[in-house]
């Protein structure tokens, strides 16, 4: 019993997260091109034919740009809320679309994908918890505040993609205009490194094996800054910082204790 996870890309230039078992997989968001997804999955030894569904968190371009091409080429069903679909303004789709229920589970083979509302400046933003035979993986990015729903689901995770978007000092000192700084840190934008760390410290379950810091800002954060903040607090949880322009390794998450392995790339 295992789930296999990777970040295919993470950041304001595009987001795409893979979660699957031996038989089927899903993507959360497709903010990079079909060609990039194909090549990155190929390098990891993953077959695109395993991807049985795409789940869309919200309509911002760094989460949906590659959806039409990928979904149409492989006829992959797309699960999306009605309000998000309306704001995506897709042309004639050419691929199957299903309306995503909030606070409910969609079954993709043996994968249970639960969606729940998050705080972000989008029409109907959602986060996801993917479960398989007692193993839970969360995809928690683009979050304004760590609300009760996030806390509840984070406590269930064996592994999680967790936003650590900005360093508070770097954002304050950046060249961003004031209105943009307020949008980012104002409660409907993104989680700071410190907010993400506080969530981890206060609510990490004892069995969490893996934390992937995600959606780091290019201008207001740095992988080493986030790593240095989190690393002293990890204990038995493995820390990874997801890069902006390439995939992470493929990780195997097991339910039997906090056991996680890095798989060799064939």
Q: Where are the domains of the chain?
A: 2-262
Q: Which fold has domain 2-262?
A: Metallo-beta-lactamase; Chain A (3.60.15)
pLDDT digits (tens, 9 = 90+) for 154-210: 999 999 999 999 999 999 999 999 999 999 999 999 999 999 999 999 999 999 999
Grade residue 89 by pLDDT with cuts at 50, 70 and 90: confident
Mean pLDDT of the chain: 94
Q: What is the pTM of this model?
A: 0.94
Q: Which of 210, 209, 200, 213 is nearest to 243 (CA)?
A: 213
Distance CA 48, CA 36 (A): 12
Q: What's the whole-number mean pLDDT along residues 112-137? A: 97
158, 147, 77: which is closest to 117 by C-alpha?
Answer: 147
């Amino acid at each position: 019993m295992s789930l296999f996870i990777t970040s295919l890309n993470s950041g304001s230039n595009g987001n795409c997260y893979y979660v699957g078992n031996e038989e089927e997989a899903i993507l959360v968001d497709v903010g990079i091109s079909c060609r990039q997804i194909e090549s990155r999955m190929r390098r990891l030894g993953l077959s695109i034919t395993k991807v049985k569904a795409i789940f869309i968190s919200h309509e911002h371009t760094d989460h949906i740009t590659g959806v039409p091409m990928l979904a149409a080429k492989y006829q992959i069903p797309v699960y999306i809320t009605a309000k998000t679909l309306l704001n995506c303004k897709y042309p004639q789709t050419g691929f199957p679309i299903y309306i995503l229920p909030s606070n409910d589970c969609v079954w993709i083979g043996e994968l249970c994908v639960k969606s729940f509302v998050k705080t972000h400046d989008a029409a109907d933003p959602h986060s996801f918890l993917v479960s398989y035979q007692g193993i839970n993986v969360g995809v928690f990015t683009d979050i304004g505040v760590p609300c009760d729903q996030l806390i509840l689901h984070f406590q269930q995770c064996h592994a999680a993609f967790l936003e650590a978007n900005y360093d508070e000092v770097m954002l304050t000192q950046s060249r961003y205009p004031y209105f943009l700084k307020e949008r980012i840190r104002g409660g409907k934008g993104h989680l700071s490194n410190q907010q993400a760390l506080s969530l981890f410290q206060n609510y990490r379950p004892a069995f969490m094996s893996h934390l992937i810091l995600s959606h780091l800002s290019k201008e207001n954060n740095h992988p080493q800054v986030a790593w240095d903040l989190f690393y002293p607090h990890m204990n038995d949880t493995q820390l990874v910082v997801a890069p902006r322009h390439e995939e992470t390794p493929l990780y195997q998450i097991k339910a039997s204790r906090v056991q996680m392995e890095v798989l060799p790339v064939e």
